[in-house]
């Protein structure tokens, strides 16, 4: 039996995706080298489970659909730009979540509880910040080129998307980047 890199996320619609891609294009004009997230791979992660024993995957998927069924569908708005660890030293660039952030935190909490019960998740040190990853900055010099530009994007708006389900993905690391496969979809209530 093998192990599968697994994460739980919500997907965004094409309008938000298109605006995020346009934002990536604008940010790349700084000349900084960034490994941009492919449009098809854009999502808002709820929990990254890491390597899950293949025998556990069925239980994980069942638990996720169980949690999702009790949570009402909601709207999510993507806006503003930030970076981890800080906008002054950007290593990971992301778009923020404004509307829907509280619902995502609630969902994250409920899923985390179930995954801890199953024993296939360790609580992360840093708190959960809902975000849409845009890209990973190559080096320190690239971060320095981007840092002064980021405040200009505080008012950027990526639009709204309806969140109607929670998705369990597997992630395989290929040469060109990760390839995500849907393992299960858990529809939200209503």
SS3 of 126, please?
Answer: coil
CA dist 86 and 92 (Å) reads 9
The Cα 16–Cα 172 span in angstroms is: 25
Could you say which of 17, 43, 114, 160 is catalytic? 43
- Pick the catalytic residue from 131, 147, 156, 160: 131
CA-CA-CA-CA torsion sign (121, 78, 132, 82) = negative
Residues 105 and 4 sit within 8 Å (Cβ to Cβ): no
Annotated active-site residue 58? The verdict is no
CA atoms in the 13 A half-sphere facing the CB of 29:
8
Q: State the catalytic residues.
A: 43, 131
């Amino acid at each position: 039996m093998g192990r599968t890199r697994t994460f739980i996320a919500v997907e965004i619609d094409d309008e938000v995706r298109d605006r995020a891609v346009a934002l990536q294009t604008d940010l790349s004009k700084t000349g900084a080298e960034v490994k941009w997230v492919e449009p098809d791979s854009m999502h808002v992660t709820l929990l990254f489970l890491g390597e899950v024993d293949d025998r556990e995957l069925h239980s994980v998927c069942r638990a996720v659909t169980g949690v999702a069924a009790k949570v009402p569908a909601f709207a999510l708005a993507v806006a503003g730009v930030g970076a981890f660890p800080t906008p002054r030293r950007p290593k990971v660039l992301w778009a923020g979540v404004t509307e829907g952030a509280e619902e995502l935190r609630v969902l994250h909490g409920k899923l985390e509880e179930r995954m801890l019960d199953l024993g296939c998740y360790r609580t992360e040190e840093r708190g959960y910040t809902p975000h849409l990853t845009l890209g990973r900055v190559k080096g320190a010099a690239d971060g320095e080129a981007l840092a002064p530009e980021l405040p200009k994007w505080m008012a950027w708006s990526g639009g709204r998307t309806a969140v109607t389900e929670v998705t369990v993905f597997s992630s395989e690391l290929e040469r060109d980047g990760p390839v995500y496969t849907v393992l299960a979809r858990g529809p939200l209530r209503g």
